[in-house]
Structure 1
């Protein structure tokens, strides 16, 4: 990129998977004419309160430079969409994290959906959407809604007012009750889904202490995840078995079929848990919005979508520049890493009216919380279904939601969500 570089060596890791130690990182000097925003997007302080950095990035210009990691950053809506749309230039196959897979070995075989480019990605996505599509969601909708209704009713079996952890008792409990059954996973070991997902999303950032701990916790879950993805393991008739059948019909071998299912086990729970948890917090903090939802529970889907826009459970993703290009007049050389701030784009005042206001009547379609373009999240239709079913069940049963203690954030290099959310619910 430039002749002048600063070499930083990341700390050695003690992960259990035998990955190679982190190589020295050649951090280029700031490119001429590009605004420098000298904040660490992966620090505890920024992950706890990312909004000042988001504003600084948006105000710095269409493209900024983050010197600590030697990466370009886009935080305005138009530029983020541009990068996501032009997948042939801003590629995913070289890794959607800080590491460039042309230079560093991936920590595990790359995802055929998230970390692949056409034609490999096209073939894998076609298989996935042949099974995971709106028709499938319509078929399971009643079952998912009934499960949500039963879960909410059970909270009030003995009293009209309950104090709960909104994460453990609702945001995590509900997806962990419906998603594994949908996939056809074994009954034992389902608790491994969350630490494995937490590990995968931490791995998109730097190999910091957060990454190292996630590798230890997630490493314990890895054998179970791998076993569940093997062809022949998911229960017949479930999504996993059907996906394997469609993969074989499309000419994918058994390893590819297993990796395709692994993509859903990696990203199918944590993101939904964080989305539902964020929705509970937002609705509790905005009683007028909760009243609007109670008045019309059919707004549950738009309430969930507005939550994803306003809070963005998936905060960032990387792309790699595969050929010299420009973004809004700024030159980006081949091999550059571009960090997309999805959460910042979702609050860009150049695109959104009153972007910092949480409003469930807003038409939030077009947000980039689930990505955009050919790599938009395949599982977003299930996340929306789960969010809609649980929020709808709550709106019909609960008169008030209150935060009764200090919520605890779960810090992750990529995700934003609550570890603990103390709530008081009162039945209608």
Structure 2
């Protein structure tokens, strides 16, 4: 029986998807989940899990019956107090979600892309020119982290001092979507300090004129959102706009280091940079999971999920589902990866995805100009997180032109 006394899905598993060994290497579990059934009951946590593309995609778009407002993590805000004020973008449904989403979509839209493209391309060339002077480097710290932490906070309008708080703050926020395990406990030791700095940066007076943050406050001045909503929307940018991009860049750099033929393809046609980024997001799925909560008895794949129960969507499993993807375990730039669910789907789809793509395009294009070959120079190390799939270290050898 489930936590509410209702019968679980026909198929159930005892596996713990948040166990270190599965977070380290989730593919075997994801295959088991997909093959077990359309809906699988995870007894350890009393949740219904989805691993097949068809049902994950549908669940992401059906916000009326599968709500985000009760939290996109294991905690159910109907019964539990969230550790921070919920996000107006990620943890809210219409109508509360509508105005913040519209404001941020406008700020991060095509005009921002055009304004930033030249400057970010130049920043990427400068970074690449510097790091490829050494034949070996850590692609995580020196590229995947260094570039977003250089350009994105500038675009938001953050002060330079204290930016080291961004990654651990985001890391804890995504860990907190999972169960209260050792990963959450480790982050909790210092989260007050990180959260205090991030909270301070969301204030109007701390944000530089002309940046994304100032534009959010200007929307409040126009009455598009309230003054109470403005700092929460800035916080959403800082929570979801750094770690996810860092780990997606780590994914695409790992893909190229292990697929030299695809790197040659990119060098021959640098216009494939965005395709490469989306294919890496599909292939590695930096955001692995998100939860929803049933707003009534919901039928999914022939199984009824009872009202108020949690549904755990495995984005990583959906992005490698052979029912939808041809040869899904292969990183392939001839594929059209645009239907992947790595950025979500529907009204909660990542509002900053175009900014992330511009960061990737800038960095990959600069690398393609200077680097003939990328190869592993050591054993990569995973960074474990309850929600994110990430590398902590990716030693590579670069052959610069």
Name the TM tier (shorter chain). Answer: over 0.9
- 2:9·2:40 contact (CA, 8 Å) conserved in 1? no
Output one character per residue of 1:128-164: Cα deviation in whole Å (capped at 9) or x when no partner. 11211122112111111110011111124xx4x5211
Pair 1:181-2:128 in alignment: no
Post-superposition CA distance 1:299-332 (Å, at most 9, x none): 1110011000000000000000011110121111
With 250-259 and 357-366 compared, the bigger mean Cα shift is at: 250-259
Counting only pairs closer than 5 Å after superposition, residues 120-199 of structure 1 correspond to structure 2 as 120-156=96-132, 159=133, 162-199=135-172
Match of 2:373 in 1: 400
Q: Is the 8 A contact 1:172 1:273 kept in 2?
A: yes
SS in 2 for 1:352: coil
Aligned residue in 2 for 1:31: 7
- The residue number in structure 1 matching 2:247 is 274
2:263 paired with 1:290 = yes
Q: Does the aligned pair in 1 maintain the 2:99–2:224 contact within 8 Å? A: no
Residue 316 of structure 1 is matched in structure 2 by 289
> TM-score normalized by structure 2?
0.98
Q: In 1, are the aligned partners of 2:296 and 2:308 still within 8 Å (CA)?
A: yes
Corresponding residue of 1:94: 70
1:219 to 177, 186, 192: 192
2:303 aligned residue (311, 330, 333): 330
CA RMSD of aligned residues (A): 1.3
Q: CA deviation at 1:29?
A: 7.0
For normalisation by structure 1, the TM-score amounts to 0.91
How far did 1:30 drift? Answer: 8.3
3-state DSSP of counterpart to 1:340: strand
| Deviations, residues 156-194 of structure 1 (Å, cap 9, x unaligned) | 4xx4x5211111100000000000110000110011110
Mapped partners of 1:29, 1:340: distance in 2: 22
Quote the residue 1:234 is aligned against: 207
CA distance in 2, matches of 1:52, 1:249: 51
Tell me if the contact between 1:303 and 1:361 (Cα under 8 Å) persists in the aligned partners: no
Aligned pair count reads 401
CA shift for structure 1 position 248: 3.3
Q: Take 1:33 and 1:343, find their aligned partners in 2: how far apart are those partners? A: 21
Conservation of the 8 A alpha-carbon contact between 2:39 and 2:48: yes
2:274 maps to 1:301: yes
1:358 corresponds to: 331
Deviation at 1:215, TM superposition (A): 1.8
**Deviation per CA, 1:39-72, whole angstroms, max 9, x where unpaired?**
1010101001101110011001110010100000
Q: Relative to structure 1, is the Cα distance of residues 207 and 360 closer, same or farther in structure 2, using a 3 angstrom cutoff?
A: same
Structure 1 alignment gaps of length 5 or more: 6-26
Secondary structure of 1:254 counterpart: coil
Q: Residues 342-372 of structure 1, C-alpha deviation per residue, up to 9 Å, x if partnerless?
A: 0000011111111111102210011000000
CA contact (8 A) 1:231 1:254 kept: no
Asked if the contact 1:300–1:388 (Cα under 8 Å) also holds between the matched residues in 2, the reply is yes
The answer on whether the counterparts of 1:248 and 1:257 sit within 8 Å (CA) in structure 2 is no
Deviation sequence 1:383-419 (CA, Å, 0-9, x none): 1111111011111110111111111111000001101
Structure 1 equivalent of residue 340 of structure 2: 367
| 1:412-427 correspondence runs (5 A) | 412-427=385-400
